[in-house]
Structure 1
Amino acid sequence: MNKYFVFVYLIFCVLFSSCLTNRDLVYLQERDGITAEDLGLIEQPKPYRVQVNDMLSIRVKALDQELVSMFNPVGESESGNQSGGLYFNGFTVDMHGNIEFPVLGKMNVLGFTIAEIKEKVEAELLKQYFKETAEIFVTVKLAGLKYTTIGEIGSGVHTLLQDRVNIVEALANAGDISETGDRKDILIIRQYPEGQRIHHIDLTDVKAMKSPYYYIEPNDIILVKPLKRKALGAGQTAMQNLATISSLVSLLVSTYFLTRNL
């Protein structure tokens, strides 16, 4: 009787210790007595500073459009800038942090904000080609926010036509994390002028909203690892675990009787 009790107890331990719970699946949970209200206002991140491989859309406008036509690609339109055409007509930041701007030549933009690049282009145009009376106006935008997902969310490269995107929005756009993905330790591989760094964020904790990595940046790589129970082959629910254990017990019993009859 005692052996039977121990056996049943062990089965229940395996069943419920390996099942997924709300703590594994729910985003931004309130823990340790900290509520969303306690976090206060979630401030917007500091202005993004352009990195290598970023793509920029730069347009020059004036009262007389013919004066600035040489600076804008032929047939370029506002909508065209937000499509695949920008790959050919946009300005990619090279490995040295430069872009090749029509007539003005190479301009270094590495580490500059979008607003600073706008001021820099306007200043160079007024210095070299135009007078104040031309009333030129420059618009500079990132060509969407491109990021990569890999792991328990599916692999892919995504682009959102927004200046700012938080990681929850980015994951939702990529199809969300699977039930076997580890939401407690998301890896973000981020690009810096000196190279790449890996950062971690726990998306099951509401405090993640205060993390410096809550907002993604262009060219981020988001890696979602599998839960350990997936690596061990455990099921996601009690019924799946019961089916696995039943199959294992059946196999052991069959093996026992077969070897006993030999």
Structure 2
Amino acid sequence: MCNRWLTTLVFSIGFVLALTSCVNTKKATYFNDIADTAMIAATNIPEPVINPNDLLSISVSSLDPQSTAIFNTPNLPVSPNAGGANNTLQQAVGYLVNREGIVKFPILGNIKAAGLTKKELENTITSQLTDKKLLFDPIVNVRFLNYRVTVLGEVARPGVINVPSEQISILEAIGQAGDLTIYGKRENVALIRQEENGNRTVHRLDLNSSKVLSSPYFFLKSNDVVYVEPGKARAATASRGQQLLPSILSGVSILVVIITSIIK
């Protein structure tokens, strides 16, 4: 008799919790408008543009390694405790683009970098090294050391994501953040981007629609911020939980009293 009452109690509580946790699965599905077979137009991958406060690795090579060494010194890792007992902590310095968009390059002096792509900056430095006869047939390679995006809001692991490959889509960023929670608004994901003129723009993306795959904002740029808003279900669930918990506990207490009385 006691086991039957306990089984009924557990089933009733589970049934109540199941009713309070129902969600619209269609809204929780990515690209629910895509047929079984679909052809999506390719999206052009934006070429990263250098901005003020970017940290760059600028490596130079030529047939004369000794002459190129001075240009590569800022790329070498240095210890903040150089000469001390603990030299284990190191950091890469690189070339910092200042607020005016200038890179201070050895011998060549100030070079305008902001607004240029990596390829354009490589060509600029190569031309100056060649024209001033500092190096013969130099090879210049530029990379971002601070290429990162931020994912916030209703995701499993919000935070900053470093992108060594300098290419990441919004789906990859969300995947690295552990995917959206069941409460995230997939139809209204905000992308905050700082433009070249310094202004910030906000773009809304619908992850329920296949149109996002061909959107010009499908691939993210450095320093982009992706924000996933919580849906009404999040607030409603929290509110229902706070309202139902006392009632459930009271009901459990009453059932326990009734079961105890029957057993006696």
TM-score (norm 2): 0.73
Asked if 2 retains the 8 angstrom alpha-carbon contact of 1:54 and 1:218, the reply is no
Tell me the percent identity.
26
Offset at residue 94 of structure 1 (A): 2.2
Give the length in aligned residue pairs: 223
Q: Does 1:218 align with 2:222?
A: yes
RMSD: 3.2
In structure 1, what residue type is equivalent to 2:175?
A: A
Question: Helix, strand or coil for the counterpart of 2:73?
Answer: coil
Q: Distance in 2 between matches of 1:167 and 1:36?
A: 22
Distance in 2 (CA, whole Å) between partners of 1:65 and 1:59 is 12
- Structure 1 residue 242 displacement after superposition: 9.8
- Counterpart CA distance in 1 for 2:67 and 2:170 is 42
1:203 paired to 2:204? no
Structure 2 match to 1:108: 112
CA distance in 1: counterparts of 2:180 and 2:33, whole angstroms? 20
Provide the residue aligned with 2:262 in structure 1: none
Q: Which residue of 1 aligns with 2:257?
A: none
**Map of 2:144 onto structure 1:** 142
Aligned to 2:167: 164
Amino acid at match of 1:85: Q
Letter in 1 for 2:201: R
Q: Aligned AA for 2:150?
A: T
TM-fit CA distance, 1:234:
5.5
1:156-184 deviation per Cα after TM superposition (whole angstroms, max 9, x unaligned): 22202112110111111122222221121
Q: Distance in 2 between matches of 1:55 and 1:75?
A: 10
Aligned to 1:69, what secondary structure does the other structure show?
helix
- Partner of residue 122, structure 2: 118
CA distance in 2, matches of 1:19, 1:185: 21
Which ranges in structure 1 are unaligned for 5 or more consecutive residues?
Answer: 1-11, 78-83, 236-240, 255-262
Contact 2:151–2:173 (CA under 8 A) maintained in structure 1: no
Q: 2 CA distance for matches of 1:71 and 1:229?
A: 56
Of the structure 1 ranges 62-71 and 170-179, higher mean CA displacement relative to structure 2 is found in 170-179
Gaps (5+ residues) in structure 2?
1-15, 78-89, 254-264
Measure the CA separation in 1 of the matches of 2:241 and 2:164: 46
Partner in structure 1 of residue 50 of structure 2: 50
1-side partners of 2:69 and 2:58: how far apart? 12
Q: Provide TM-score, normalisation by structure 1.
A: 0.73
- Equivalent AA in structure 1 for residue 119 of structure 2: A
Cα deviation for residue 28 of structure 1 reads 2.5
Answering whether residue 96 of structure 2 is matched by residue 92 of structure 1, we say yes
SS in 1 for 2:70: helix
